[in-house]
Amino acid sequence: MKFTELDLPQPVLKGIEAVGFTDLTPVQEESIPLALAGKDVAGQAQTGTGKTAAFLIALFTRLLQSKSKTSNNPRALIIAPTRELVVQIWEDAKGLGAFCPFKLQPIFGGVDYEKQRQALQDGVDVIIATPGRLIDYAKQGVFSFHRIEALVIDEADRMFDMGFIKDLRYIMRKLPPFEKRQTMLYSATLSHRVMELAYEFMDLAEKVSVAPEQVTAERVEQVLYHVGRREKFALLLGLMKKMEDPCRMLLFVNTKREAEHLTGRLKVNGYKAEVISGDIPQKKRMRILDDFKANRLHYLVGTDVASRGIHIDGVTHVVNYDLPQDPEDYVHRIGRTARAGASGLAISFADEDLVFYLSDIEGYIGFSIPAVFPENEDFCHDYKRYVPRKKVPADDRRRPAEKGRKPPRRRTGRSKGGTKPGGGSSAK
């Protein structure tokens, strides 16, 4: 089905044409007609299936039809669990809504507080936000929820995982009643707790499930290497040396410490890599992601905070340097590649510490990942060693000695008066 077959306003159609969309994806074909008819939608769809465009097209169409004026109280609200996802939705919204007269404003922590506050006071049609800072502005009276005509909750399952459910319920209780607004909810899994949220705050939501039997993206080639923990880096370098340039690779680990360590090892061996995790300041994270999108950076190492927040076309390889403990995280990680109809390769390392999670992952995705036992030529054993800098606690740091000044002599046990350690006097 083509977008021109839908009854869409001209500004929306022009935006769709400008970003190069022609045919609807399965999730768009099932959910957009329902949303255009005014129905609430609860959709199950993996990342990379076009769900963001699905809810943006329906949202813009509704706002154009209502013809309300812009004010400091928003008309639509999109809630997402991570800052990176907010930025990605905002960028997609600017493209699809380029010919619509809407003011879009992202709201999230880690960036200029007063600048976002002023933007809300100046007037906005659509807010795209993480829950925390949004509630902060609302409680201060910077804006009100009473004019909200449409609500979108993206990656609802992640809201639960990240502890946002209380904030989400607070927001939804401040909105107009569900019969006076339209709600669209999207989630990788429509679990019992997600559907409970839908039953409580949505108006008889139409459930849309796209290919539930196909949990992982069809165009992702998956391969698993059984390798010892101490040999993983040598295998990684050996595989990287065989890859064709240019490549754009995401590497996932389970801890922030391991992310920093792996990034250091890659840099020492000549690979331009950066780390993205929850400890990185927001401005630096955005700069790193911009470099990765612009192909100025080819290797990005991240924890699972990145697996849900990075939506970048053109990622050629995903490496699970550490197997994830949660099977759903495996799906979200490898979903960073093979987006928008492209193909991609997902490589996973199963070492002696993490191989125990493999059976749960394969049970969740419904098949066994093709396994390979690497040969000696697959390893790169002549790599450079990386020695991380030790962080010295502030209390242990000493001021450098002044130039020409000798360090103090250690005491030998004698006192000023010449008393020996045993208590006797040295005087004769």
The Cα–Cα gap between 376 and 390 comes to 33
Which CATH architecture does the domain made up of 220-378 adopt? 3-Layer(aba) Sandwich (3.40)
Q: Over the chain, what is the mean pLDDT?
A: 85
Closest by CA to 207, choosing from 182, 190, 188, 183, is 190
**For residue 250, what are the β-bridge partners?**
300, 318
**pLDDT score, position 240:** 93
The Cα–Cα gap between 322 and 382 comes to 22
Identify the H or E element spanning 348: strand 344-350
**pLDDT score, position 424:** 47
Same fold yes or no, 3-209 and 220-378: yes
Instruction: Return the SS3 of 128.
Output: strand
Any alpha helices (H) in 148-231, and if so which ranges?
156-161, 165-174, 192-201
Percent of the chain with pLDDT over 90: 53
Which amino acid is it at 412? T
> Is pLDDT of 166 > 60?
yes
More confident residue, 72 or 227: 227
> Is pLDDT of 410 > 70?
no
Model confidence band, residue 193 (pLDDT cutoffs 50, 70, 90) = confident
Poorest-confidence range of 98-107, 172-181, 316-325, 412-421? 412-421
The full set of domain ranges for the chain reads 3-209, 220-378
- The b/e string for 32-62 (b: 16+ C-beta within 10 A; e otherwise) is bbbbbeebbbbbbbbbbbbbbbbbbbbbbbb
> Is pLDDT of 90 > 80?
yes
pTM of whole model > 0.85?
no
φ and ψ at 200, to 5 degrees?
-80, -40
> Is pLDDT of 423 > 50?
no
Model confidence band, residue 304 (pLDDT cutoffs 50, 70, 90) = confident
**pLDDT score, position 406:** 54
Q: What is the mean pLDDT of residues 397-420?
A: 50
The Cα–Cα gap between 42 and 149 comes to 17
For domain 3-209, the question of CATH label 3.40.50.300 is answered with yes
What is the longest distance spanned by two Cα atoms in the chain?
A: 113
User: pLDDT digit string (tens) for 42-71?
Assistant: 998 776 678 999 999 999 999 999 878 877
Q: What is the mean pLDDT of residues 362-368?
A: 89
Q: What is the mean pLDDT of residues 356-365?
A: 92
Model confidence band, residue 420 (pLDDT cutoffs 50, 70, 90) = very low
More confident residue, 279 or 15: 15
Model confidence band, residue 426 (pLDDT cutoffs 50, 70, 90) = very low
